[in-house]
Amino acid sequence: MELTTGIKGHRTEVVTEDKTAAARGSGALEVYGTPSMVAFMEETARKSVEAGLAPGLTTVGTALNIQHLAATPIGLTVTCESELIEIDRKRLVFKLTVSDKDGLIGSGTHERFIVDSEKFLAKTNAKKS
């Protein structure tokens, strides 16, 4: 697979207690937390392009612009859909939506960069010395 605009991702997950705002510390209520939704969005985008990357390459998230529009209770399934809408050399931009059975609960855009895993980790770990 080659990276081209239009690549889509689709994932589902069940809202469990550990994914609530109360559990993640972003709020006090037992509803799907924004940090969980953000991680779900990033994972959906990342996995959608994995097969198109050369061995040793991965993507890292660098920017998010999202809205969390509606609450979802524990036990419901949420679905994330991503679409790769822009490629600028190593920069990838995704359009994202998250829905539950009643409709849209979140949307936005997400930017990721293609990196060489070994070089990225070496540079990061060099901060320790």
pTM beyond 0.75, yes or no: yes
The full DSSP string for 44-56 is HHHHHHGGGSPTT
Q: What are phi and psi of 110, to 5 degrees?
A: -145, 135
Q: Cα 86 to chain center, whole Å?
A: 16
Distance CA 32, CA 60 (A): 24
**Which residue type, as a one-letter code, is found at position 121?**
L
Instruction: Specify if 3 maps to a domain.
Output: no
Instruction: Specify if 25 maps to a domain.
Output: yes
pLDDT digits (tens, 9 = 90+) for 55-89: 999 999 999 999 999 999 999 999 999 999 999 99
Instruction: Specify if 104 maps to a domain.
Output: yes
Report the domain count for the chain: 1
State the catalytic residue, choosing from 13, 20, 42, 81: 42
CB 106 within 8 A of CB 90: no
Average of pLDDT values for 2-6? 95
Instruction: Specify if 15 maps to a domain.
Output: yes
pLDDT digits (tens, 9 = 90+) for 100-117: 999 999 999 999 999 999
Q: Is 42 a catalytic residue?
A: yes
- Residue-number span of the structural domain to which 105 is assigned: 8-128
User: For position 74, which CATH number holds?
Assistant: 3.10.129.10
Instruction: Specify if 118 maps to a domain.
Output: yes
Q: Is 110 a catalytic residue?
A: no
Instruction: Take residue 60 and report the two structure tokens written for it.
Output: 């890292």
Instruction: Specify if 2 maps to a domain.
Output: no
